[in-house]
Amino acid sequence: MPRGIPIVDLDQIETLTSEFSVPMQRPGDPAGRATIGQFLALAAAAVELDAGTDFDSVVVPGVYILTSDANAPFAGGRWFVRVRSDPVDPTAIVQEAVPLTGGTGPTPFSRRAAAGVFGAWISSGAPDASGVPYDDSNAFPGATNVQEALEAAADPWASLPLRVPIPVFDHLGGGAPPTDKWYRYVKLSAGETGAGGYNEGILASESVSGSAPYITATAEIDLPSSPLHGQTIHLIGTERRFIRAGSSGLTQDDQIKKHNHTINGYLAQNTLQGPVVASAPGNGGITSPTTNETGGDETRPRNIGATYFMRIL
């Protein structure tokens, strides 16, 4: 790797009062600012590194110009980079970087390495939240800066827990969770795994059997990044199952509570009219009375349909 000009060989940057200035990156500097002219002069003395060079590999003390996204504070920038190390422990390194292009301005970033391993970039003067790096694998893991994390926090679909079926009145227009975010939902309905379907690429082994009202529809979650990968789920939108309190995942078919009926009718051997309770065979009585049929093809309470989704990532 080409060696830059050691910081100790450069002229000290004095306290300045120029109207035009950019943030400095020298900790402890009383003013913390340098003129644009001095900043550009320092950049002119820097060594141009190969485009795409990994920031993690820039460990020799000096000043550099670097166009790279590899472990950069953010993507799409061209950078002025300064590297310093502890003379006693060369693996204790400080990198400071200012974007010459990209971002929202000349926002300084810095980070340090211990035992040769770099920590996260820290912004020391971001003009807005988009200039502050963000790296949290648990909360909003898709965000790369604080602005993106704040936007993710404002997304209601990003804050719902996994494994919770969510009913949506999508007949009112739209309403389905997006499929192009860092989180992912599954639509609990069969027939959505084909090209362009909501469940494309995230379900496997979909199975639908039986006929209404006894349809059984299941599928296996096929999303390696999901904690639910490999789990079998019921596609309750196709099964048209209700959810009730009780043992999670336990399924039941419909059932009517045990009861009896009183049947009104006539006995053939006399003029008695009233409840029929018994009649001996052979004397003209009714031996197997039945009631008239009523009802539909399933037992259900009054309801309204909704499309169910469930977060799996």
pLDDT tens for 181-205 read: 889 999 999 999 999 999 999 999 9
What whole-number percentage of the chain has pLDDT above 70?
74
Lowest-pLDDT range of 88-92, 247-251, 264-268: 264-268
Q: Say what the pLDDT of residue 33 is.
A: 52
pLDDT tens for 24-81 read: 444 444 445 555 556 556 655 688 999 999 999 999 999 999 999 999 999 999 999 9
Which tokens in the block code for residue 94?
């400080």
Beta pairing class for 93-101 and 109-114 = antiparallel
Lowest-pLDDT range of 16-30, 99-113, 139-153, 286-300: 16-30
Alpha helices in the chain (DSSP H): 36-44, 146-154, 236-239
- Contact predicate 219/194, CB 8 Å: no
Amino acid at 214: Y
Q: Say what the pLDDT of residue 310 is.
A: 98
Boundaries of every domain in the chain:
7-151, 155-245+304-313
